[in-house]
A and B are shown apart, each in its own frame.
Chain A
Amino acid sequence: MQLIQPIKVQQLIDKLKDQELYVHIEQTTGAYAAHMDSSKHPASSFLTNARIRYSHGAISGNGPYRVGLKMTHGWVYSEGLTHYEDMETERLILAGHDSQGKLIVALQLSPKPF
């Protein structure tokens, strides 16, 4: 994973629009959040391999970045993205890592299931 280069990510977002895709979207504090610090409220969600299609999408911000994808009946939104996989040409692999390197958010799109 490399630090996000918004131009490269925008190119991939544009390349993947208007087609059937599989999405993985996730946000997590980790299961140990309250074990380490009882004032923390552990929360997480993920959704893997739901099928979506978007007509328009953009990356925004100065880092950490936000991504929004506009679908016929709604939106996909992710905030806190810091890294992307620069070796991928057919899939978009985005993640947000905190100061300790732990993943806290992920957004992935692919024509094939993850």
Chain B
Amino acid sequence: MMEQRILVVLPHPDDEAFGLSGTLAMHIHNGAQVTYACLTLGEMGRNMGIPPFATRVTLPAIRKMELESSCQAIGIQDLRLLGFHDKMIEFEDQNVLDTRIGELLKELNPSLVVTFYPGYSVHPDHDACGAAVIRTVGKLPASERPVVHCLAFSRDHEQAIGKPDVHYDVRAFLKQKVASIESHRSQFQAAELLGKNELSQQELEARFGTERFWTYRYPS
């Protein structure tokens, strides 16, 4: 499916890397314009590099650079840093959040919006970000709503929301995806993620070659 204009709303630099970067690179390759609204700088993150090269004080600036580098790797044309405080999205004034997201929807009129599935995305910021997007899109008349694709990965999420209905084969865009992941140096050096040894092309394709989304269904 051809997407013309995509709005991505996620709370942390690096939230795009594993679940979404291949899909975005694919859509951009097919001519889409992508705006990525990142709510925070991830300044409360626990990963500081191994050995630590960031500190609580330097982390926001480092993660901003990492995010810019990731966006460049993916080909994202428009990055918006919304300036909310990491870990505090669920406590933020909902009107302030919804207004910012509503302004972006109005300005960009996207055909597709991508965010986290509220309630099934583990981190409170993920859930609160997804809830704000779902709320704000839901305020639009049904005929004007963009399609919303959600990421979800909580334990047992499929019991509640079923299997993802959108699957993209992103094997042709693994170069961009791996470059996006590697951009977030302070976050993803850990052996737990990319493995200690260089992965073969086959292993890469098996682990990162498919991206999956749930289309959000508004009650009619």
Contacts and interface: CB of A to CB of B under 8 A. Distances in A.
Given A93-B57, A114-B57, A1 B122 contact: no
Given A93-B55, A102-B48, A103-B45, 13 more contacts: A1-B53, A24-B56, A28-B44, A35-B155, A46-B44, A95-B52, A97-B48, A100-B50, A100-B192, A101-B49, A101-B50, A103-B48, A103-B56
B123 interface: yes
Given A46-B44, A93-B57, A32 B52 contact: no
B52 A97 contact: yes
Main secondary structure of the interface of B (DSSP, over half): loop
Nearest to B52: A1
Interface string B107-144: 00000000000000011110000000000000000000
Nearest to A28: B46
A10 interface: no
B56 A95 contact: yes
A31 B122 contact: yes
Contact of A108 (B56, B87, B192): B56
A95 B52 CA distance: 10
Interface in A16-58: 24, 26, 28, 30-32, 35, 38, 46
A47 B55 CA distance: 16
Contact of A38 (B48, B56, B155): B155
B169 to A, nearest CB: 27
A73 B51 CA distance: 38
A87 to B, nearest CB: 10
A84 to B, nearest CB: 9
Given A46-B44, A95-B48, A101-B52, A85 B155 contact: no
Contacts of B72: none
8 closest A-B pairs (Cβ-Cβ)?
A101-B50, A102-B46, A103-B46, A1-B52, A31-B123, A35-B122, A30-B46, A106-B56
A39 B48 CA distance: 25
Interface residues on B, range: 20 to 34
B47 interface: yes
Contact of A85 (B46, B57, B124, B125): B57
A102 B47 contact: yes
B6 to A, nearest CB: 27
Contacts of B166: none
B190 interface: yes
B48 A35 contact: no
Interface string A63-99: 0000000000000000000010100000101010100
Contact of B122 (A24, A32, A95, A97): A32
B154 interface: yes
